[in-house]
Amino acid sequence: MGISIEKNETTETVKTKKFMNYIDGEWKEPSSGKYIPVINPANGDILGEVAQSSAADVDQAVRAAVKAQKKWRLVPAPERAEYLFTVGRLLKKNKEKLAQIITSEMGKVIEEARGEVQEAIDMAHYMAGEGRRMFGETMPSELRNKFAMSIRVPVGVVGIITPWNFPIAIASWKSLPALVTGNALVWKPSPDTPIVAEEFVKIYEEAGLPEGLINLVQGSGPEAGAAMVEHPDIDLIGFTGSNAVGRKINERAGALLKRTSLEMGGKNAILVMDDANLDLAIESIIWSGFGTTGQRCTAASRVIVHEAVKQHLEEKLVEAVRSLRLGDGHDETVDVGPLINKKALEKVDQYVHIGIDEGATLLCGGKVAGKVGNGKGFFYEPTIFTDVQPDMAIAKEEIFGPVISIISVKDLDEAIAVNNDVSFGLSSSIFTADVNRVFQAMRDLDTGIVYINAGTTGAEIHLPFGGTKETGNGHRDSGVAALDVYTEWRAVYVDYSNTLQRAQIDTNTK
Ligand code: UN1
């Protein structure tokens, strides 16, 4: 099945590497026998080819998971955690290798890729710690000689569907809490980033995780992902990705009464008040807006600025953008890598045209950067629009690329109203020196994450990650909140009175 590629203009052909499924502790071809190429978005190189799995592969994976989970749930949580500590150590040992892979297949600059692997390392250690906490509650019973408590029990088999933009970090946010709490997993990563997924599974394998507990099913959302949602023995779907797909998952899962935990993007804003440290705000806007080429759910795609400092901010931002270097993220001097694929590049360009048609003023960028590297990558110039009206499409819809829209406001109340007037609610930020404004913002910005004097990106793994409104469905990744996703509460009553005691009836509180 290998496809041939030419190397260095010689006639040498090499068999491309195949990224396969991992089911019940074995690497397996997909039952369809089909593969599609994996492309380096910085230069168009083919990195290998990824399996296209179907419902039959998902079914095999689920069977393995069901079997493995039966034993795993009985392993004491501190013992389960030992595997996670090992995973953390192995991630650390392989940090550079994993980061290089992420940069090759996803395009983010190497420093950010290292940061992303660090996020997974942190999560492994944090969730391993949960093995010795996983607190429930004890409460007094209303009856004599009766004991009451709540304990966490695993949900069962968890299906996780993860995106390409944080291919190891987001997979770690979902897989590690699911495992430490006693679940088994079927994992479908994005077909754009199968290589780091394979490496992550190999780390789980090397850590000695029992067979069948983590099953990797490579492939596409419409086929493998949909089969996971349909499978009766998958009890929960943990998904991060687009709003459109999350909505479909939720509709179908709703009909099947399957649990879901969904994280579906943002339209995040940085508020810059007239008393802000402007230099800091500018640096933060550049980092949050153009870091990861704007392809973070938390990326700042709106800047809501007090009219008194608008012009100054614009001038400084344009100046800062000029110094950004686009290129292959392996080069340590590059600031902005490519977009993930051609489709993403076209989507960003379409939005830029929509912005122009809507009457926004283009301050810089606005074009495909076709001349970067060998000209075969998916680069887009960092783009800033100003005079954007809050109701324009570029101010409302998630673009997921290096495009920032500046919206001018008269005061904090208007800034908060504009911030909240979008369907998403992931992250927001305010730059101000006024403590009263800070506390008002903390209370009124309607997002799951609020930053004060820092940009919209950079969530830490021990806090809850997720958002309000159409960003999610009320759940959170990471932090202790993730345990609520991957466990059910069980209320336990122990009556040691040896008599029939009727709650609400045989009490002294009648
Ligand atoms: C994402 O884009 O979905 O807070 C994850 C951040 C990173 C994670 C982003 N720690 O920007």
Catalytic residues: 263, 297
Q: Is 458 in the pocket of ligand 1 (CB under 6 A)?
A: yes
Asked whether residue 15 carries a pLDDT value surpassing 70, the answer given is no
CA 42-46-50 angle, to 5 degrees, is 115
CA of 460, closest atom in ligand 1: 10
Asked whether residue 7 carries a pLDDT value surpassing 60, the answer given is no
Q: Cα–Cα distance between 473 and 406 in angstroms, integer?
A: 29
Residues 92, 199 within the same domain: yes
pLDDT digits (tens, 9 = 90+) for 350-380: 999 999 999 999 999 999 999 999 999 999 9
Q: What is the pLDDT of residue 16?
A: 85
Residues 122, 149 within the same domain: yes
Q: Cα–Cα distance between 27 and 49 in angstroms, integer?
A: 15
Substitution site in 457, 461, 471 for ligand 1 pocket (most atoms within 8 Å of beta carbon): 457
Q: Is 269 in the pocket of ligand 1 (CB under 6 A)?
A: no
pLDDT digits (tens, 9 = 90+) for 163-179: 999 999 999 999 999 99
Residues 254, 370 within the same domain: no
Residues 391, 437 within the same domain: yes
Q: Cα–Cα distance between 340 and 380 in angstroms, integer?
A: 11
Is 283 inside any structural domain?
A: yes
Is 480 inside any structural domain?
A: yes
Q: What is the pLDDT of residue 510?
A: 66
Check if the beta carbon of residue 61 is closer than 8 Å to that of residue 186: yes
Q: Cα–Cα distance between 246 and 121 in angstroms, integer?
A: 27
| Cβ-Cβ contacts under 8 Å for 100 (sequence gap 6 or more) | 110, 113, 330
Give the pLDDT band of residue 11 (cuts 50, 70, 90).
very low
| Cβ-Cβ contacts under 8 Å for 14 (sequence gap 6 or more) | 4, 5, 7
CATH number of the domain that residue 71 is part of? 3.40.605.10
Asked whether residue 200 carries a pLDDT value surpassing 60, the answer given is yes
**Residue 246 C-beta-side C-alpha neighbours within 13 Å:** 20
Asked whether residue 5 carries a pLDDT value surpassing 80, the answer given is no
CATH number of the domain that residue 352 is part of? 3.40.309.10
Distance (Å) from CA 299 to ligand 1 centroid: 8
Check if the beta carbon of residue 293 is closer than 8 Å to that of residue 339: yes
Distance (Å) from CA 82 to ligand 1 centroid: 27
Average pLDDT over residues 464-491: 97
CA of 295, closest atom in ligand 1: 2
Strand order in the sheet with 427-431: 361-364, 383-386, 403-409, 300-306, 268-272, 427-431, 449-452
| Cβ-Cβ contacts under 8 Å for 6 (sequence gap 6 or more) | 12, 13
Is 497 inside any structural domain?
A: no
Give the pLDDT band of residue 6 (cuts 50, 70, 90).
very low
Give the pLDDT band of residue 292 (cuts 50, 70, 90).
very high
Is 30 inside any structural domain?
A: no
Residues 250, 372 within the same domain: no
Q: Cα–Cα distance between 410 and 397 in angstroms, integer?
A: 23
Residue type at 129 in one-letter notation: G
Count the domains in the chain: 2
Q: What is the pLDDT of residue 183?
A: 99
Is 150 inside any structural domain?
A: yes
pLDDT digits (tens, 9 = 90+) for 36-85: 999 999 999 999 999 999 999 999 999 999 999 999 999 999 999 999 99
Asked whether residue 10 carries a pLDDT value surpassing 50, the answer given is no
Q: Is 296 in the pocket of ligand 1 (CB under 6 A)?
A: yes
pLDDT digits (tens, 9 = 90+) for 225-278: 999 999 999 999 999 999 999 999 999 999 999 999 999 999 999 999 999 999
Residues 97, 150 within the same domain: yes
Q: Is 457 in the pocket of ligand 1 (CB under 6 A)?
A: yes
Residues 378, 250 within the same domain: no
Is 163 inside any structural domain?
A: yes
Residues 173, 307 within the same domain: no
Q: What is the pLDDT of residue 14?
A: 56
Distance (Å) from CA 456 to ligand 1 centroid: 9
454 sits in which H/E element? none
Two structure tokens written together for 434: 């006024």
Mean pLDDT (the chain) is 96
SS3 state of residue 147: strand
Is 12 inside any structural domain?
A: no
Check if the beta carbon of residue 465 is closer than 8 Å to that of residue 263: yes
Give the pLDDT band of residue 508 (cuts 50, 70, 90).
confident
pLDDT digits (tens, 9 = 90+) for 400-439: 999 999 999 999 999 999 999 999 999 999 999 999 999 9
Residues 405, 417 within the same domain: yes
Check if the beta carbon of residue 474 is closer than 8 Å to that of residue 481: no
Two structure tokens written together for 159: 């299906």
Residues 361, 384 within the same domain: yes
Q: What is the pLDDT of residue 3?
A: 41
| Cβ-Cβ contacts under 8 Å for 112 (sequence gap 6 or more) | 291, 292, 329
CA of 115, closest atom in ligand 1: 10
Residues 247, 290 within the same domain: no
Is 42 inside any structural domain?
A: no
Domain containing residue 409:
268-452
Residues 401, 320 within the same domain: yes
Average pLDDT over residues 478-491: 97
